Chain A
Amino acid sequence: DAGVIQSPRHEVTEMGQEVTLRCKPISGHNSLFWYRQTMMRGLELLIYFNNNVPIDDSGMPEDRFSAKMPNASFSTLKIQPSEPRDSAVYFCASSLLAGFSGNTIYFGEGSWLTVV
């Protein structure tokens, strides 16, 4: 089965440009998570969705960041305008919602963003 699919894998963009990161969760999973990884701050939860509804977006750093999940098989994370300090690896992850906290969360390969 396909895992969590993210695109693009690598992106280099200029400061001020809009960046859109895309994620396709594992089929049947109904919880979706966006994390950001940097050397300084480690892994940070940005936002997560249950059944396509945003549950907690308190980790979104500022209004320049937005995330959507228009359907169960697709999500986007948008940065507009981008800044050099947004350079990081952005991970999408998904899991089953039903059950309990022991359900495994599966991660994509990440989108490596560099803003110059």
Chain B
Amino acid sequence: GDSVTQMEGPVTLSEEAFLTINCTYTATGYPSLFWYVQYPGEGLQLLLKATKADDKGSNKGFEATYRKETTSFHLEKGSVQVSDSAVYFCALRVNQAGTALIFGKGTTLSVSS
């Protein structure tokens, strides 16, 4: 079945460090891919998305490129801030309208000053 695998956390970084969170997926067809972020005590917010191969989603300095050949959607940020500390979820939605998100297990990021 369709699934998402993301790197285990926690990821601990110093402020201004480079961030990569790996995400790979298994799906039939060509899904849309998403990164959601969850700050402590809050719901999930969309961070970025990509809907077809080679698309790059970007937001707030975060980027991820939809790589069909490696079935990956790795999240990157060049310089993290303390305020980026949160749980990051990679997710896919199969290529048809009206389906649900399938999530990875989440990666906790902790950034210290």
B partners with A: yes
Chain A interface (Cβ < 8 Å from any Cβ of B): 4, 31, 33, 42-43, 45, 48, 50, 55-56, 91, 93, 97-110
Selected interface stretch from B14-22, B42-50, B71-79: B42-50
A98: chain B residues within 8 A (beta carbon): 97
Please pick, from A43, A56, A93, A100, the residue contacting B97 in the complex, using a CB distance under 8 A.
Answer: A100
The reply to whether A108 and B100 form a contact with Cβ atoms under 8 Å apart is no
The reply to whether A108 and B106 form a contact with Cβ atoms under 8 Å apart is no
- Taking the nearest CB of chain A, how far is it from the CB of B76, in angstroms? 21
Interface string of B38-82 (1 = CB under 8 A from A): 000011111001010000000000000000000000000000000
A99: chain B residues within 8 A (beta carbon): 97
Please pick, from B45, B93, B97, the residue contacting A97 in the complex, using a CB distance under 8 A.
Answer: B97
Interface string of B86-110 (1 = CB under 8 A from A): 0001000111111111111110000
Can you name the residue of chain B whose Cβ is closest to the Cβ of A99? B97
B51: chain A residues within 8 A (beta carbon): 100-102
Q: How far is the CA of A31 from the CA of B105 in the complex (A)?
A: 23
Q: Given contacts A43-B106, A55-B98, is CB(A102)–CB(B93) below 8 Å?
A: yes
The reply to whether B46 and A101 form a contact with Cβ atoms under 8 Å apart is no
B100: chain A residues within 8 A (beta carbon): 33, 45, 48, 56, 105
B49: chain A residues within 8 A (beta carbon): 102, 104
